Structure 1
Amino acid sequence: MRNISIDLLDATPRPVVAIGTDYAYGQWLPRHTHRRAQLLYGATGVMQVSTHDGNWVVPPQRAVWIPAGVAHEVLMLGVSTRSLYIEPSAIDLGQRCQVISVSPLMRHLLMEAVEMALEYAENSRDAALVDLLLHELALSTHLPLHIPLPLDARLLALCQAFVQRPDAHQSPQQWADQLHVSLRTFNRLFRQQTGLSFSQWRQRACVVLALARLVAGEPVTSIALDFGYDSPAAFSTMFRRLLGQPPSVWLEGAK
């Protein structure tokens, strides 16, 4: 199925409904929920997904898992999607969104799935394809492309300001001073609220925010300097530490 709303198909008596959708660059999907869980795969372009507890950037050829009932909004940057809408009883990948890798096999299965009959016959090739897709999904690798956001209002304001203007030189002491707390109290609060240390969160945020710009063709040098890194090499080293590959190799794999 292509370019049709899941709302029209949600009652389909099958565990998986597959839909392909093409979005204009910059198209924004306001906050909404689905009764089914959703695997949202971008064959092209970049997706930026937001929920109450964080932001996710989804590069090309990757996907994001959105649990059933989780309110989310999505910014589409030149994206052609393949979505699986999955009955919650069919598979459980947890109650939080997460970006996942997509194997070559899963990629081909997703492309095939949107061509299936809506009510595919049980014990048919299409039913076997769906079973294999769910097996591949269960084995997928999670990628650290999530910027967790705190619930504490004062800390949330600082995190949101950083997301708007990343600065690799900002220190935990500077943030502690703005909150009028000791460094020790700040570090304890930050980890309680985000699950990461300040330096881990700062690096994660810089990498995630850089991805959309990298995929759009911006050079590493300009991004590194914009984010306050002393050199492109320093940025690339941090990028490789988090994602296991330098930006050039990561981008090649996203094509």
Structure 2
Amino acid sequence: MRNVPLDALDHLPVDVLPLGTDYPPDHLLARHTHRRAQLLHGASGVMRLETEEGAWTVPVDRAVCIPPGTPHEVHMRGVTTWSLYIEPDAVPWWPTSCTVIEVGPLLRELLRAANDLGADYDTAGRDGALIGLLLHELRRTAPAPFVVSLPREEPFRALCRAYLAAPDAALTNTDWARAAAMSPRTFDRRFHALTGTSPATWRARARLLAALPLLPAHSVTSVAARLGYSSPAAFTAAFTRAFGAPPSKLG
């Protein structure tokens, strides 16, 4: 099923609703919730999902598991999605917080096939078997570390969200403290209490996440320079430490 509103299908008596959607470039899907659990996979493009807890970047060959009832918004960059909306009772093992997962070749093809099903697919026949295998494969997937926490308290949250939208390597802890009308020491202490990390460490990770939407269209050298790294080697080393693979593998 493609480009059909979820509300038009949510009543159907099936555990899993596959639903694909084409989004315009740089589209913001405003904050909303689903009664069902959702697997959100971008067949193309890169997404950034935000909740009260954090921000998850979802590059190609990844998806994000969204627990039922979780308020979230999604920034779409050239994205066509293949989603599954799943009755919570059918996936008692579903993550309790948003989780980015790896999507291997088999899982990707299963998602492609599922999104070609009609609203009245045969749950007892081949279609139901496809959905069953898809759920088995989902349960076996590995999580990916493409997330930063977001403080719930202002002005810290607004500063972090602004940085995610436009990472600036020249910005310092002193700049953030001044914007928050606090001393640097007070700002750092409160930020660490809210996020579990220092402002500088948080910004460094946010800059690396900002590389993910850039890598498919730009060289490692170009992305490193754009994000303020001293050299492509320095960028590659930091990226590999953070995400377990070099940028050439995720671009």
Would you call these one fold, judging by a TM-score over 0.5? Answer: yes
Q: Which amino acid aligns with 1:46?
A: V
1:166 aligned onto 2:167: yes
Aligned to 1:68: 68
Aligned to 1:135: 136
Shift of 1:136: 1.4
In 2, Cα distance between the equivalents of 1:170 and 1:87? 44
Greater than 6 Å deviation, 4+ residue runs: none
Is the Cα–Cα contact under 8 Å of residues 173 and 184 in structure 2 kept in the other structure?
no
Shift of 1:186: 5.1
Is the Cα–Cα contact under 8 Å of residues 169 and 229 in structure 1 kept in the other structure?
no
Q: Which amino acid aligns with 1:16?
A: V
Instruction: Tell me whether 224-233 or 113-122 shows the greater mean CA deviation.
Output: 113-122
Q: CA RMSD of the aligned region, Å?
A: 2.4
Instruction: Tell me whether 111-120 or 186-195 shows the greater mean CA deviation.
Output: 186-195
- Secondary structure in 1 matching 2:85: strand
Q: Which amino acid aligns with 1:80?
A: T
Relative to 1, partners in 2 of residues 1:28 and 1:171: Cα closer, same or farther, differing over 3 Å? closer
In 1, Cα distance between the equivalents of 2:14 and 2:250? 36
Instruction: Tell me whether 71-80 or 2-11 shows the greater mean CA deviation.
Output: 71-80
Is the Cα–Cα contact under 8 Å of residues 145 and 204 in structure 1 kept in the other structure?
no
Please give the residue correspondences for 1:171-250 in structure 2 after superposition, counting only pairs within 5 Å: 175=176, 180-181=182-183, 183=185, 188-215=189-216, 217-250=217-250
1:137-171 per-position Cα deviation (integer Å, ceiling 9, x unaligned) = 12211111122110221322332343244244655
Instruction: Tell me whether 62-71 or 22-31 shows the greater mean CA deviation.
Output: 22-31
Aligned to 1:153: 154
Relative to 1, partners in 2 of residues 1:4 and 1:70: Cα closer, same or farther, differing over 3 Å? same
In 2, Cα distance between the equivalents of 1:238 and 1:201? 13
In 1, Cα distance between the equivalents of 2:6 and 2:166? 36
Q: Which amino acid aligns with 1:121?
A: D
Relative to 1, partners in 2 of residues 1:157 and 1:17: Cα closer, same or farther, differing over 3 Å? closer
- Secondary structure in 2 matching 1:39: strand
Work out the percentage of aligned pairs sharing the same amino acid. 47
Is the Cα–Cα contact under 8 Å of residues 37 and 88 in structure 2 kept in the other structure?
yes
1:40 aligned onto 2:36: no
Relative to 1, partners in 2 of residues 1:143 and 1:199: Cα closer, same or farther, differing over 3 Å? farther
1:182-230 per-position Cα deviation (integer Å, ceiling 9, x unaligned) = 74x6555334322444454223211111111222x13333332332221
Shift of 1:247: 1.1
Relative to 1, partners in 2 of residues 1:232 and 1:179: Cα closer, same or farther, differing over 3 Å? farther
Is the Cα–Cα contact under 8 Å of residues 21 and 81 in structure 1 kept in the other structure?
yes
Structure 1, gaps ≥5 residues long: none
Structure 2, gaps ≥5 residues long: none
In 2, Cα distance between the equivalents of 1:136 and 1:200? 34
Is the Cα–Cα contact under 8 Å of residues 154 and 179 in structure 1 kept in the other structure?
no
Q: Which amino acid aligns with 2:100?
A: V
Shift of 1:23: 1.9
Q: Which amino acid aligns with 2:195?
A: T
In 2, Cα distance between the equivalents of 1:232 and 1:116? 44
Is the Cα–Cα contact under 8 Å of residues 212 and 250 in structure 2 kept in the other structure?
no
The alignment covers a number of residue pairs equal to: 249
1:37-63 per-position Cα deviation (integer Å, ceiling 9, x unaligned) = 111111111122222332222112211
Q: Which amino acid aligns with 1:143?
A: A
Relative to 1, partners in 2 of residues 1:81 and 1:160: Cα closer, same or farther, differing over 3 Å? closer
TM superposition score normalised by structure 1: 0.86
